[in-house]
Amino acid sequence: MSGYVKIVVAVDLSSESSPIIAKARSLAADNAELHLVYVQEPMDSVYLGVVPYGPVFVGMDQVEGRLKDELNDKLKALGREFDIPEDGLHFLSGTPSREIHRFVEEWDADLIVLGTHGQKGAQLLLGSTANSVLHGASCDVLAVRVPERD
């Protein structure tokens, strides 16, 4: 098997990210490019229904900035763990499925690899990032089953 050449691995920076990256590696061609993508939803969009205008609380921008720095450090650590160069690490901001689709188009990827918890019942009706990515993708998608979180 020749494998995939341009692989986008969408990670949530949890402990489940490493097995997902390892699975992507196992599908990669010898000359493959692996791109790790993390998408942070802006805090103001998360709280939009609670507070329609302005920041949710004073200092929210600073909290969001510190969180971004922390998460970016985790992304870089994953890059070091899997020997992925810094230009293969992408910290994006926005709606995860939308940003992943945009990135895949921009980089002309041929595979997206991401984790899924296997939604059931009401969760299935509400949807998930993996489901949204799958239904809008222009390339192959591999959803790697990860254990349920406690």
CATH, domain range 4-145: 3.40.50.620
With a CB cutoff of 8 Å and minimum separation 6, the contacts of 71 are 13, 38, 40, 91
Residue 35's SS3 state is strand
Alpha-carbon gap, residue 55 to 37, rounded angstroms: 26
HSE-up (13 A, CA, CB side) for residue 8: 27
For 38-91, the pLDDT digits (tens) are 999 876 655 545 555 555 555 667 777 788 889 999 999 999 999 999 999 999
* Residue labelled with tokens 């254990």: 147
pLDDT at 124: 47
pLDDT averaged over every residue in the chain: 83
Tokens coding 16: 């489940």
